[in-house]
Chain A
Amino acid sequence: MAIAEPLPLAVSTDHRELSRICTVTGLRIFAGAQALTLANAVAAVLALAAGGLFGTLVGLSRAPALAFLGPGTFYAALTGHGVAALVLWPVFFEVAAMVFASSILLNARVWSMKLGWLSFALMIGGAVVLLLTILLGDASVMFTAYPPLVATQWFYIGYLVFAVGVLGAIVNFALTIVAARAEGAHEGSLPLITYGVGCAAILALLSILSGLVALIPAWVYANGWTDTLDPIVYRGWFWGLGHTLQYVNVVAMVVAWYGIAALAYGAGPVNQKFTRFAFVLYLIIAVPVLGHHFLVDPSIGTTTKFVGGTAMGFALGIPSLMHGLAVMGGVEAEMRARGAMGLFGWLKRLRFGHFATASLTCSLLIFAIGGWSGTVETTLPLNLVNHNTMGVPAHIHSVVVGGTTLAFMGFAYYLVPLLSRRRLWGGRLATVQAYLYGAGLLVMIVAQTWAGALGVPRRTQSIDYPGGTPGGWDASMNLNGVGVALASTAGVIFIVIMVATLVLGKRTEDPAELVEPAYS
């Protein structure tokens, strides 16, 4: 019986490739891994800036008191907001996490730097094509390009090129881990962060495969080479991509929570078995959940809708709740080990003036709100009342912005200084940024929930209907504008801190300057 040959190593085992030892974590960081991680992180931050700019424009314009974008500009800007803020920003950051978790965390080198840079180039190329088609007004379709409504063929090509880049990064991630074990750089079970990122990578792979099934025929249809494509079928495959991708963001957010807790408090998850099981639960449940997009669609059976949308949606709350307890419990256990007493004495030991506590607290709290609103909206009879109303953006901004984005921001405040060996610029400004972002988001969420309960539609440029606008609509959307202004300001501050750190931050290897404990 032939035994499989060991994987050929793309790089030699000659350990004279450039590396350094991190003075804070003791990890061996290879130059290539560091550069690739930082490149993806920088691309992510730039994507966030673009997505945030588009979001500010549409959010402010939807305040009837301001209402300054005409339909053409609005729908183009809204598409830009969705693509840059919901696809480009999180995915670039997740690829940075994939590089980091497979190489740096394992004291290993990247399996193939060539593949790493090629993937990066494809992702950048795809992103540029996407944004150009949007800016030219040829792809004002948001995420609802349901045939016969289509965009220019270049929009689909942009997605496809980006997706191939991500596939390359996933392959690189897997082979880097395999090589790290083969070379002996890492032994034993994977660190939790790598394990979690691995689950995210598997979900990303499944989403992309679904996306290919949706987007390739859509591209063919957009070129006029076939003349039928059932919108309901397309919707199914597209949301197999779309919603599964959201679970990549949830898993990555949870990983960021653990990362922040480790660096800020020296805390780990309260129990490894419990935590890893919770990650596996995401894998099992995340894909069928796309059913909640069909709850009020015609010609789909009620049982299918209920099982795929409602039941699976409820089940998916279980792993998130488990992680909520594990993260908080880990911090509590660490503080108790350091002498904290009483039911909530451990909370008093945390420095709420530190950016880590600020971002972690706000992220946990706002994600908790979003988890609740998602559960309500995925309940079949309740979906009838909120489908396509502003209640849906209320949920989305809770989980993706309050949850994932704030967690990524908190983690970036550690990752970027540690990899670039520059002190975080602005001192306490990072803390102010996190709380301001959280506050702005809370105002937005309250406003959007209110608007949704009244029936205000989403993805709509104006609510100035002939014959008059229903009562309360204008007020709720004006309040949303206030929240948008606050959150956008905080978003700008984040970008400024990131850029200033990379350009002006004091170069240092002193652990005390790179990582400040967030507890007392």
Chain B
Amino acid sequence: MAVTESSVVAPPPGWGRRIPRDEKLFFIVIVMTTVLMTAFAVGWVVWSDHNVPRTTAHTTPAEYSARVQAFTKRYADDQGRAWVPPGTDAYMLATRYSWYPELVVQSGKEVMIWISSGDVLHGFSLVGGGQNLNLEIAPNHAFGVRLTPDAPGRYRIICNEYCGLGHQTMASYLTVVSAEEMAKHVAGAGTAAGGTGTTAGGAAAGALQLTADASGKLAYDVTELAADAGAVTITMTNPSPLPHNIAIKGNGVDAKGPIVLKDGTSTVTADLKPGTYTFYCSVPGHEAAGMKGTLVVK
């Protein structure tokens, strides 16, 4: 079988013959289909505003962190979850490897949730309950997500843009509550100051002190501490844009200080018998990355 006669290897002379009817018809059909699809999509984007992520702003990790800090201070409950009254913008910070703070919003009400990153690109992914929303979250850019949840529940937030070796642990929830629940909380909570404690300066005399790494590395400035048995207080200052805290565990003890952002101070106190304990940061992924040390109590 001589392949050289095939018009693929060497075109036979006079190959410029007219295009057959089949191809002409098909070309018209596919061009028309493309035009119709484009027109439909344009119409959807222009008129429905449904699933078109438009709202963004420029920012910096430091500036954005401050906003998140202020927002959380005002609205967080004593578990650190921020309850968002209808009409208030919510702020969320993505850093390796956490979404901070966890939000509680009201069903049936539109809410604007701002999200930015304090370090690398993250992928905001709201899943579960059959709902998928996926956005790229970058440092220096804040995304504004205007959404109206329609059913109470706890919806998963995960990260789906690779951000480092702890990427698969970066998960949180969006909690949606009914109007009654939200009203109850707003009435009963009073000030939400219990959520994020920022104590100015002076730690208790004899308290142990340490600092989180200012550049955003997941580490403290010391890895060993020593104390006398009895009431032990550790105070951590956080000069970085990432959320951190200080916690103690070991020998049946498990105490955690509040999570704080830039320029915040976190304090934890526990009654410790002589022995060896671990102090660490309980923000997901931080301890595994090395943000911990040994506390020897005599």
Binding site for B on A (CB under 8 A): 24-27, 71-72, 75, 105, 140-142, 144, 146, 148-149, 188-189, 191-193, 230-232, 258-259, 261-263, 266-274, 296-299, 302, 306, 310-311, 314-315, 317-318, 321-322, 325-326, 329, 375, 379-382, 384-389, 453-455, 457-463, 465-467, 470, 511, 515, 517
Contacts and interface: CB of A to CB of B under 8 A. Distances in A.
B34 A379 contact: no
Given A75-B162, A460-B160, A460-B168, A267 B6 contact: yes
Contacts of B9: 25, 27, 105, 191, 193, 262
Contacts of B143: 298
B41 A379 contact: yes
B16 to A, nearest CB: 6
A188 B136 CA distance: 51
Contacts of A322: 23, 26-27, 30
B138 A462 contact: no
A312 to B, nearest CB: 10
A193 B5 CA distance: 14
Contact of A232 (B23, B138, B167, B173): B138
Contact of A299 (B58, B135, B165, B166): B58
Contacts of A71: 165-168
B208 interface: no
Contacts of A388: 123, 125, 134, 160-161
30 contacts: A75-B165, A142-B162, A148-B120, A149-B120, A192-B8, A262-B8, A270-B22, A271-B19, A272-B7, A272-B11, A296-B134, A299-B58, A311-B41, A314-B38, A318-B27, A322-B26, A326-B23, A379-B41, A384-B51, A386-B132, A387-B134, A388-B134, A455-B132, A457-B159, A458-B160, A460-B160, A461-B167, A462-B168, A466-B171, A470-B128
Contacts, number: 226
B291 to A, nearest CB: 17
B77 interface: no
B53 A189 contact: no
B141 A299 contact: yes
Contact of A318 (B5, B30, B138): B30
A462 B13 CA distance: 60
Contact of A258 (B1, B8, B16, B134): B8
Interface string B61-94: 0000000000000000000000000000000000
B288 to A, nearest CB: 9
Contacts of B206: none
B19 A274 contact: yes
Contacts of A193: 8-9
Contacts of A297: 136, 138
Nearest to B131: A455
A46 B121 CA distance: 34
B184 interface: no
Contacts of A385: 51, 132-134
Contact of A306 (B15, B22, B41, B159): B41
Contacts of B168: 71, 460-463, 465
In this complex, the member of A24, A141, A314, A515 whose beta carbon has the largest number of chain B beta carbons within 10 angstroms is A314
A457 to B, nearest CB: 4
Contacts of B121: 144, 146, 149, 231
B123 A269 contact: no
B5 A266 contact: yes
B178 to A, nearest CB: 22
A274 B17 CA distance: 10
B264 to A, nearest CB: 23
Given A318-B31, A465-B156, A27 B167 contact: no
Given A191-B10, A268-B7, A388-B134, A149 B164 contact: yes
Contacts of A189: 11, 15
B50 A25 contact: no
A273 B136 contact: no
B45 interface: yes
